[in-house]
Structure 1
């Protein structure tokens, strides 16, 4: 037993430790947001990227609403004598406990999803326990990828394409909001290509290929990769930048997968949210804090959107598709009235008024919650056990 007093120590949006009890309570709170559906079947799902953000929400929504069985994959760090485990480690342990309580057989694998050895091990597990999968949800946000065929390491970048860009961005100093101007360099062709290798559709299609080769695609198999489009305010950094090139590749991958017999493939365009991945992108933090200022409780959470995604995947509700065949869960965000209000706030934001114009306090609290802090009904003055086992 290793009880420790855990405090939020870090810099910017990065914290050195995570709070195990806070992460567990956060998962418990998420499960409480889901209304179960009565069903005799237990769909089998493979969730690649199940420990954080939308992947975590999709996993919990599937477990709580439709009683899914299956496998979740993530890549987390165990606790050491100096540091706690990553937040995703503790969230996974809590999610596994919830799945067991619900009677779901859901396994969690801690490994590099890009590696062929991971694919082989996971598919062995699926073949042995389930005989195949009904759904593959792909939600991976990684800074780098090692191509298992060539052992080449690709590194993603957050850069503009064509011409340099500049954006307002939200930062914090001693917990207080600070408005910054951030310059975004132009990516080289090689940097764009590497970003596509990391964040595009190549690994997604390799998972489908591996399942198909092992004859593990059940009748009616459906797969979805999670993506984002966002506002014109973030467009030069995101959708028109190097990340956007990767997202375009993800969407073209969905189109090519749909041409196969027995495969229904879509991208799901989710709305803006506070995640560990999105907080690293300049301008996104400011944009989301302004979006929350405009919408308040009407801002749809990843859990609300994941419930909607599962309802559409299972046929409970019709697919909400756009002209390009993408599932749209972001219409609330891109409503013209909402975007006009956010743009007005964005344009009026200055160094002096950022604390009033943006919902900065909410955003900073949401960042802390990613690491298990600022979660209601958790005693942060008490010690907590940090040596939590990965679910077997």
Structure 2
């Protein structure tokens, strides 16, 4: 049987690792259904990869691997994490993504050196209070589970840099999130959030914030405190306007506002002078503000599926623009300024009532459009 062959091959790898005094062992992608008990002999092991197998359990024998720093058990069929994990006091990275875990054992509290914990794509409905003991934790991934609330224990993780809670069933974010003052990445997309707590104002180190695919009707003014923010994703919510507070996000490079109900952009957008990508697909915009001229670093601008009847000549200031999507609007003409955008490589004008000459030029490609505009 293939399984027996895989088991024997794993035993050989273990024996070889023992002879060589290896500190790393990769038993991934071997179709293993169980791990040989001989693994217990590799007491010097610092990294063990068992990813992409058919494991339904992990042997208690791993308790002997007291020097282990990295344990990768991703992409298996584990339904539980063994209590033996409590012995791995040197563990820094634990990867359990893509399994069938319904709970995390209290024993995890002993992993006080843990810096990265990956639990995404499981069936977790809650996280134990025990994670509060993981005082060194910097990365916690809990995306694609069945969490209905953010565990209070997370507030104790004062060193946390990256927190991913996307694709769960969260309806609110607790005020205690304010404790995570070192947080740089926060993913809360694809939940059922109706509002964002003012407490996010405390996350002054935040660089990436994703709130897309929720039920937000407003962006909190507290966002003004996130002066280090580089990427903000608010797509697929129910926003009708952007707050003036957005002007404070002077380091912002990416802004995603796809699929909302915006009818206009505030003049405050002019303050986003570092912006490189702006996505406004699927809103109700009837005009583009002249303030867009201030976004001189912009490389990609997507305005498709709105109600635009014109684009301002101010677009001439966007000298770094590489991609411009104006499809699915009400445009009959585009500004001559487009001809001067020397970096522009992609221009989309599909599904607009373009005048015949422009439509003919568009059929031939972007260079033909530029020539047409220069000849007007």
Which TM class, normalised by the smaller chain length?
under 0.3
Greater radius of gyration (CA): 2
TM-score by length of 1: 0.21
TM-score by length of 2: 0.21
Looking at secondary structure, tell me which structure has more helix per residue: 1
Q: Greater relative contact order: 1 or 2 (C-alpha under 8 angstroms, separation 6 or more)? A: 1
Looking at secondary structure, tell me which structure has more strand per residue: 1
